Amino acid sequence: MIEAGWGAPKYYLLSHIPGAGYIDTNEVESEPLWNKVSDAQLKAMLAKHGIRHDTTVILYGRDVYAAARVAQIMLYAGVKDVRLLDGGWQTWSDAGLPVERGMPADVKPEPDFGVAIPAQPQLMLDMEQARALLHRQDASLVSIRSWPEFIGTTSGYSYIKPKGEIAGARWGHAGSDSTHMEDFHNPDGTMRSAEDIAAMWKQWDILPDQHVAFYCGTGWRASETFMYARGDGAGKTSPCMTAVGTNGAAIRKIRCPPASAARTAVSSRNAPDGAALIRPTGKRRAILMPDGATLIRPTGRLFFQAG
């Protein structure tokens, strides 16, 4: 169990899930574009945290997309079994489950990852691979950005100057701005239902039988969406789901799609009647269990169930 967050673990030190370690997202990505670090650096990071390719890793965060960013990069590296806690720290805290303070016991380094890194290179696309998807009838390049970002009102970031969108990309929704993902969350922060997400994407012709690649501004929102889709969060989604970040630099030719292309511009703060986020139903919600296992939302204890 590992908590992921950006920067020093100030909140982690005050309270975290018992036994959980901590990963700073700066260990897996770097400035100026916040792309993943080199494969050699990934190998060193995984060794430091005692992680092999066959280690089961459960990640959570104060922000779900921080954990998802680390999870997606671990999968790329070759960790076979990476899981997210639905709703992250807030879900654990709201359930009144045990917590602890301070740093956990030292982790024994694991220098032998067991396979060459990356073991799953298909989970990261470069610029030319992403561009090629735009010319395929069986593929979608999907923008996980807010509607204002998608139509070119704002870049979404103070340090990204270009505004607009990749020509031919489809809008996969996100949230109210570059730091929120309300379109994928219930009010309590857990994932919306698989059916809800699939219906949202169908409006933009993002379909389960396609090869779909997600991108956002720096990769965090795309990674969270990738993890939901990979966990069957949108029906029988292609195993080729890929997260890529643009940061204004991946595909230089950008334009603002016409307003008429909106189809149905559903966002958490500007949704038509009947399109608001669904409320939790009390059902168990599952996130990313690769081999038929399901991580159940905490209800007094954390456990796994065969799916």
What are the start-end ranges of the E strands in the chain?
Answer: 2-5, 21-24, 29-30, 35-36, 56-61, 81-84, 139-143, 165-166, 170-171, 211-216, 242-245, 254-255, 293-295, 304-306
Contact 296, 286 (CB under 8 A): yes
Torsion of CA 192, 6, 113, 54, to 10 degrees: -20
Please give the Cα distance from 27 to 219 (Å, whole number). 14
Please give the Cα distance from 139 to 229 (Å, whole number). 15
Give the active site residues.
Answer: 216
Contact 170, 205 (CB under 8 A): yes
Phi-psi region of 159 (alpha: psi -120 to 50; beta: other; left: phi over 0): alpha
Please give the Cα distance from 283 to 21 (Å, whole number). 29
Please give the Cα distance from 277 to 43 (Å, whole number). 40
Instruction: Find all residues with CB under 8 Å of 95, minimum gap 6, and list them.
Output: 298, 299, 300
**Dihedrals φ, ψ of 13, to 5°?**
-65, -30
CA angle 179, 182, 184 (to 5 degrees): 115
Name 16's bridge partners.
100
